[in-house]
Structure 1
Amino acid sequence: MEPITTTAMISAVVTYLAKKLKDNESVQDFFSDFTEATVNWIKPIFITEDKKPKEIIEDLKADPADELNTGAVENALAKALKRNPEAEADLKAMYDSLQAKASRGESIRIMHSKNVNTGNVNTGGGDFRQGDN
């Protein structure tokens, strides 16, 4: 199986954040689900210096289903990773944590990503093809 892409990891993290905000939880609640080391790089993207959510987080909280809002957060994370490529290890740790939650039965959905398989595929002896022709 091919490794998960950075885009898919970003999408999973943003989808989880949007779910938290939709459930009337705060961005701080989102941070508490991960280790401090893994979220230190992401905090300045989401939180102002006076510890208030930035506009992209307020917009996401106002309408977590809006693709413009989720896209803005995904774009902000992608830009942050471009500036600091070492943070991809932290993103991967966050993604792995979400996958562990999913394996315990908590639902995690990856949105806005093509050809992503996050689980096992049992073809019963048949062929399996994922992707575009």
Structure 2
Amino acid sequence: MDPVTVAAVVGYLAKTIKENKAFKEFTADLTEASVNWIRPIFLKEDSTPKEVLKELQEKPDSASRRKAAEAAIMTRIEDYPEEGHYLKEIFESINKKNTTSQNTVTNSKNVNTGNISAGGNVSIGDKH
């Protein structure tokens, strides 16, 4: 699974938490199937947060806590690769909802997250 997709989903979750909104609001625009897929990653059966979500709620800007949340998602994808389409669906839902905002890509090189408009040649990379 694409790490940028996972990072974007976790970034949106952290943003939702930072705005003092509940996990339920994060899943508000998702299909029931996607909600049913992501809930057990972050919530126990009684709907209380698992440790990874508790820690993210405590410090939503923490890079290490975001990485832990990303790892939880990636573990689920590793165990059930056929369920990867749910993550893509969540990512697409987030992108549709945030058409005016941009996802932040960190620890990556040569990534363009927007449109490029130029009157001549465009070169992205370390060497020209």
Establish whether residue 129 from structure 1 lines up as the match of residue 94 from structure 2.
no
| Distance (whole Å) between structure 2 residues aligned to residue 17 and residue 93 of structure 1 | 15
Note closer, same or farther for the CA distance 1:58–1:68 as it changes in structure 2 (3 Å cut): same
1:55 Cα deviation from its structure 2 partner:
1.1
2:5 maps to which residue?
9
- Normalising by structure 1, what TM-score? 0.85
Could you tell me whether the CA contact under 8 Å between 1:15 and 1:111 is conserved in 2?
no
Give the secondary-structure state (helix, strand or coil) at the position aligned to 2:60: coil
1:63 maps to which residue?
59
1:28 maps to which residue?
24
Q: Out of 38, 41, 64, which is 1:45 matched to?
A: 41
- Normalising by structure 2, what TM-score? 0.88
1:6 Cα deviation from its structure 2 partner:
1.4
Query: Which portions of structure 1, spanning 4 or more consecutive aligned residues, are displaced by more than 6 angstroms?
Result: none
> Please, what is the CA RMSD of the aligned residues?
1.7
1:88 Cα deviation from its structure 2 partner:
1.4
The amino acid of 2:103's aligned partner reads: R
Q: Deviations over 1:57-97 (max 9, x none)?
A: 11101101111110100000011101111221111111111
Any stretches of 5+ residues in structure 1 without a counterpart? none
Any stretches of 5+ residues in structure 2 without a counterpart? none
Give the secondary-structure state (helix, strand or coil) at the position aligned to 2:98: helix
1:113 Cα deviation from its structure 2 partner:
4.6
The amino acid of 1:99's aligned partner reads: N
Identity of aligned residues (%): 37
Q: Aligned pairs, how many?
A: 126
